[in-house]
Structure 1
Amino acid sequence: MKHLPLLDLFIILFYLIAMVAVGVYFSRKNKNAEQFTRASGKIPGWAIGFSIYATFLSSNTFLGVPGKAFGSNWNAFVFSLSMPLAAWVASKYFVPFYRSTGEISAYTHLEHRFGPWARTYAVVCFLLTQLARMGSVFFGIALSLQALTGYSMSVIMVVTGICIIVYTVLGGIEAVIWTEVVQAVIKTLGALLILYLVIEDMPGGMSRILEIGGQDHKFSLGSFAPDFTTSTFWVILLYGFFINLNNFGMDQNYVQRYHTAGSLREAVRSVWVCVKLYVPASLLFFIIGTCLYAYYDVHPELTQAIRLQAAAERLPHAATPELIARTAAALKPSDFGDKVMPHFMVNRLPTGLVGLVISAILSAAMSTISSGMNASATVFTVDIYKRYFNKGLSEKRFLPVLYSATLVFGLAGMGTGIAMIGISSVLDVWWTLSGIFAGGMLGLFLLGLISRRTGNMAALTATIIGVAVIVWMALPGIIPERYAFLRSPLDTNMVIVIGTLTIFLAGMLLTGIRKDKTAAREK
């Protein structure tokens, strides 16, 4: 087991204690649910923007993006390029809509529009999305810290999870936002530090990195061919637009923050602060991945060590060295990309800097998990507990329920992360799961917002059709091999695109048919 120097342990411990202390400090302000969920609407727009940026910049980005760039190219960066367009739509239509409703939950209005089933469906999709997000982030942080500390991934998730739960339960949304402001700065500086160390240690420096990256097409944004069966530029652009539109327009993590701003102008400002920070920051992580690719290209012995490690983790503990070696030789760079940056940090970072980088990775995970816990607890309390179990929930009882729900969702996210141990690409898993769960929500929301004539039955029928299409695309294994020709030929990243459009267009079509029948009867 690798033992960290005392200086590094002290830095990490100081960071964790500081985050818990923030929760304790803000716990004195949480006298009611309004403060816990909205911070009484007193947070400045720039701080909310930093907070949203920190939520986007999770450990999935910190580890998954460099791993993706190492294993393939910059195709996934197109996701970030789609963000400004999604932000423009959200700031023009969605943010003013939520601010005008005054509802803390992003899904309450769906019941007013289509009935209880719509609200419940969206809530279930959101909660499943959050479990997938928190689980993938827990997994990402454990993957990195296992390499740096030698402790098991389960132990790492439990220890970090307890710290996150404590400050989130105690501090509420205000603690979440202000800790994320600090975490946004820490994780960005941590990424810059890693980039500097890779370039500094690279024989030939940046010019050599550019040469190797160019030779192996590592800067490619993907094929520009009109092909939607593979991960082309257009597939990721569409995926990114719909996912970012869902994030800014339907995700409780972000919608709840709009209500913490003092005005609509500040709420809109927060969206653009996030975009201006995230797009260049995500590019930074792709650059890190390409730099690591070049670094390990000139150090094949280090690449072989990672291959052997990845192969050993895939095989039973009793596997022979010969079997491990054969398995390692068959692995592609995309099969072990997530392990490269942790390996570099273990072997190349000097004492003191390891603690700083671990703190940056911790901050990348903690910001996303804490916001997910707070948002999930808010949605559960407002949309499920108060709606179905205790409609007369008093202000006095509201806060204890929020505390309990935050604790439960924190533990559930931790359990999901433990269940993910063994996957090869955390970014791929998160993208797939988010596409499955988010597609139905966004399609239903757009149908209700754009088509004022669509009624309950048309929306319900369209949603059932959309969910069937999503399952067909996302789970090809449900179709037997002899009927493989019936499986979706489209890339899995198209799930949210097709799912959203199916619900929206089916709802519009059914509304038009009903309108025609009504007009015919009237004649």
Structure 2
Amino acid sequence: MNSLPLFDLAVIVVYLLAMVLVGFYFSRTNKDSEQFTTASGTIPGWAIGMSIYATFLSSNTFLGVPGKAFGSNWNAFVFSISMPLAAWVASRYFVPFYRSTGEISAYTHLEHRFGAWARTYAVVCFLLTQLARMGSIFFGIALSLQALTGYSMQMIMIVMGIVIIIYTVMGGIEAVIWTEVVQAVVKTFGAVLILYLIITEMPGGVPKIIEIGLEQDKFSLGSFLPDFTQASFWVVLLYGFFINLNNFGMDQNYIQRYHTASSEKAAAKSIWLCVWLYVPASLLFFIIGSCLFAYYQVNPELIETIKQQVAVERAGVGASATEVAAMATSLQPADYGDKVMPHFMVTKIPAGLVGLIVSAILSAAMSTISSGMNASATVFSVDIYKRYFKPGINEKQTLRLLHVATVVFGLLGLIAGIAMIGVKSILDVWWELSGIFAAGMLGLFLLGIISRQAKNHEALTATIIGILVILWMTFSHLIPSDYEFLRSPLHKNMIIVVGTLTIFLVGIFLTRLRKSSATA
């Protein structure tokens, strides 16, 4: 078992205690549900922007992006390139819309437009998305810390979960936002430090990294051909635009922050601050992945332990040494990319700095999980419990409900993380699950906000058709090879694109069909 030096352990413990103390500090003013969910609209725009940036910059980015760049190229960076366009739409249309409604939940207006079913459907999609997000982040942080400490991934997730639950329950959204401001700084500094250490260890320095990257086509953004069957530039661009449109327009994590701002202008500025911070920060992590690839190309013997570890996991219990060796030889960089940065940290980062790096990775995980817990608790309380069970509960009962729901969703996210142990790529799993769950609610939201004449039965019919399309695209790969022509030919990142457009366009078509029939 690996063991961290005492100083590094002390840095990590101090960081975790500081996050708990933040929760204690804000618990003094966290006396009602409005303070718990919106901080009574007192948060400055710059803090909200850094908070949204910290939510985007999760451990999926911190570990998954370098792993993706190591195993392939910079194709996934196109996701970040799509953000400014989605931010423009959000700041111009979504922020004014939500600020004018005054509803803390992003989904209440769907009931006003189409009925209770639409609200409930969107809430279910959101909660499933949050569980997938929290689970993938719990898994990512455990993957890294296991390499550093040797403790089981389950134990790491449980300790992390307890700390996050404590400060989120006690401090509410105000604690979430201000801890994320600190975490945004910590994780950015940690990434810069990791890049510096890789470059200083690299024989030949930056010129050698660039040379290897160009030789191996590591800086490619993907094919520019109009090919939607693989992760081409256009597939990732479309996926990024639609998923970011969902983030800024339908994700309670972000909608809730619009209400914490003092004004509409401050809320809109927070979106743009997030974009201008995240785009270069995400590029930084792709650079880290490319640098790690170059480093281990020059020093291939240093990567053998990772390959052996992955080979043992894949070969299974009882495999012979010959079988494990054959498996290790056949592995490609994409098969062990997520494990490379933790391995570098274990073997190359000097004592005294590991604690800072681990704190940065912890902050990357904690910020997204805490905001997901708070948003999930808010949605459950407003859109499910108060809507269907006890609409007339008092303020004290509402606050207690929010506390209990926060704990429950934290535990469910923890269970989801444990269930993900063994997946090949954190980023791939998160992108696929978020695309599946987000497609339906984004299409329904756009239908409701753009087509003012669409009615309940048209939206319901369009949503049912959209769900069937999403299910077909998700599971058609399971169709036997004899019926291969029934499989979806599109890349899975296109699920959110096709699913969203199906619901929106079918709803528009049915609305126009009704209007033309009425005038005939």
Category of TM-score, reference length = shorter chain: over 0.9
Give the whole-Å Cα distance in 2 for the aligned partners of 1:422 and 1:296.
23
Who is 2:316 aligned against? 316
- The answer for the alignment partner of 1:262 in structure 2 is 262
- Matched position secondary structure for 2:260: coil
Structure 2 residue identity aligned to 1:130: Q
Matched residue, 2:127? 127
Partner of 1:436: 436
* Per-residue CA distance 1:288-324 (angstroms, 9 max, x = gap): 0000000000011112221111111223233222211
What per-residue deviation string (whole Å, max 9, x for no partner) do you get for residues 99-146 of structure 1? 000000000000000000000000000000000000000000000000
Q: What SS does structure 2 have at the residue aligned with 1:318?
A: coil
| Superposition map of 1:154-303 within 5 A | 154-303=154-303
Distance 1:479 1:461 in 2: 26
Instruction: Report if the CA contact (8 A) 1:147-1:342 is conserved.
Output: yes
Aligned 8 A contact 1:44 1:266 in 2: yes
The one-letter amino acid of 2:493's match is N
SS at match of 1:475: helix
* Counterparts of 1:365 and 1:180, CA distance in 2: 10
Q: Give the match for residue 74 of structure 1.
A: 74
Measured in 2, the distance between the counterparts of 1:42 and 1:22 equals: 17
Cα distance in 2, alignment partners of residues 313 and 274 from structure 1: 38
Q: Residue in 2 aligned with 1:497? A: 497
Match of 1:23 in 2: 23
Mapped partners of 2:255, 2:236: distance in 1: 24
| Contact 2:462–2:503 (8 Å) recurs in 1 | yes
- For 2:298 and 2:404, the matched residues in 1 are separated by 52
Would you say the 8 A contact 2:38–2:256 is kept in 1? yes
Q: CA deviation at 1:348?
A: 0.2
After superposition, give the CA deviation of every residue in 1:402-429 in whole Å (9 maximum; x if it has no partner). 0000000000000000000000100000
Report the Cα distance in structure 2 between the residues aligned to 1:343 and 1:177, rounded to whole angstroms: 31
Alignment correspondent of 2:472? 472
For the aligned residues, what is the CA RMSD?
A: 0.7
Other-structure match for 1:385: 385
CA contact (8 A) 1:51 1:181 kept: yes
**Matching residue's letter, 1:385:** Y
What amino acid is aligned across from residue 432 of structure 2 in structure 1? T
Residue 305 of structure 1 aligns with an amino acid whose one-letter code is T
| Amino acid paired to 1:442 | L
Aligned length: 520
Q: Is 296-305 or 42-51 further displaced after alignment?
A: 296-305
Q: What's the counterpart of residue 59 of structure 1?
A: 59
Q: Is the 8 A contact 2:58 2:137 kept in 1?
A: yes
The Cα of 1:478 is off from its aligned counterpart by 4.5
Give 1:332 shift.
1.1
Q: Distance in 2 between matches of 1:321 and 1:278?
A: 45
Give unmatched runs, 5+ long, in structure 2. none
Q: Contact conserved, 1:297 with 1:303, CA < 8 A, in 2?
A: no
Shift of the alpha carbon at 1:73? 0.3
Counterparts of 1:127 and 1:315, CA distance in 2: 35
Give the secondary-structure state (helix, strand or coil) at the position aligned to 1:488. coil
> Which residues in structure 2 correspond to 1:92-103 (within 5 Å)?
92-103=92-103
**Structure 1 stretches of 5 or more lacking a match?**
none
Instruction: Letter of the 2:33 partner, please give it.
Output: A
Equivalent residue number for residue 137 of structure 1: 137
TM-score after normalising by structure 1: 0.99
* Partner Cα separation in structure 1 for residue 40 and residue 406 of structure 2: 19
**Tell me, what secondary structure is at the counterpart of 1:220?**
coil
In structure 1, the partner of 2:406 is: 406
Counterpart in the other structure of 2:342 = 342
Q: Which residue of 1 aligns with 2:88?
A: 88
Alpha-carbon distance in 1 for matches of 2:352, 2:378:
39
2:352 aligned partner: 352
Deviations 1:23-80 (Å, cap 9, x if unpaired)?
0111111110000000010000000000000000000000000000000000000000
| Bigger shift: residues 302-311 or 182-191 | 302-311
For the 8 Å contact 2:378–2:402, the answer to whether it is kept is yes
Structure 1 residue 481, shift from structure 2 partner? 3.0
Letter in 2 for 1:381: S
The reply to whether residue 364 of structure 1 matches residue 373 of structure 2 is no
- C-alpha separation between the residues in 2 aligned to 1:256 and 1:479? 41
Could you tell me whether the CA contact under 8 Å between 1:133 and 1:430 is conserved in 2?
yes
Q: Deviations over 1:215-267 (max 9, x none)?
A: 00000000000110110000000000000000011100000000000000100
Whole-angstrom distance in 2 between the partners of 1:358 and 1:94: 36
Q: Equivalents in 2 of 1:194, 1:424: separation in Å?
A: 23
Per the alignment, in what secondary structure is the counterpart of residue 317 of structure 1? coil
Report the Cα distance in structure 2 between the residues aligned to 1:440 and 1:49, rounded to whole angstroms: 27
Quick one: which amino acid aligns to residue 169 of structure 1?
A: V
- 3-state SS, counterpart of residue 423 of structure 1: coil
TM-score normalized by the length of structure 2: 0.99
Give 1:343's aligned amino acid.
H
Report the Cα distance in structure 2 between the residues aligned to 1:172 and 1:100, rounded to whole angstroms.
23
Q: Which amino acid aligns with 1:30?
A: N
- Cα distance per residue 1:467-503 (max 9 Å; x no partner): 1101111112443332121110000000000000000
Q: How many Å apart are 1:516 and its aligned residue? A: 1.1
Structure 1 runs (4+) deviating above 6 angstroms are none
Q: Is residue 466–residue 499 contact of structure 1 (8 Å, CA) maintained in 2?
A: yes
Corresponding residue of 2:425: 425
- Please tell me the residue identity of whatever aligns with 1:72: S
Contact 2:228–2:491 under 8 Å retained in 1: yes
TM-superposed CA distance for 1:396, in Å, is 1.7
In 1, the alpha carbon distance for the partners of 2:149 and 2:55 equals 25
Q: How far apart in 1 are the matches of 2:341 and 2:442?
A: 34
2:34 equivalent in structure 1: 34
Q: Which amino acid aligns with 2:19?
A: M
Quote the Cα distance in structure 1 between the aligned partners of 2:117 and 2:353.
52
Q: Secondary structure at the match of 1:259?
A: helix
Determine the C-alpha separation between the residues in 1 that align with 2:331 and 2:397: 55
Residue 380 of structure 1 aligns to which amino acid in structure 2?
F
- Secondary structure class of the residue paired with 1:106: coil
Tell whether the 8 Å contact from 2:477 to 2:488 is kept in structure 1 after alignment.
no
Answering whether residue 95 of structure 2 is matched by residue 109 of structure 1, we say: no
Q: Give the Cα separation in 1 of the matches to 2:342 and 2:321.
A: 23
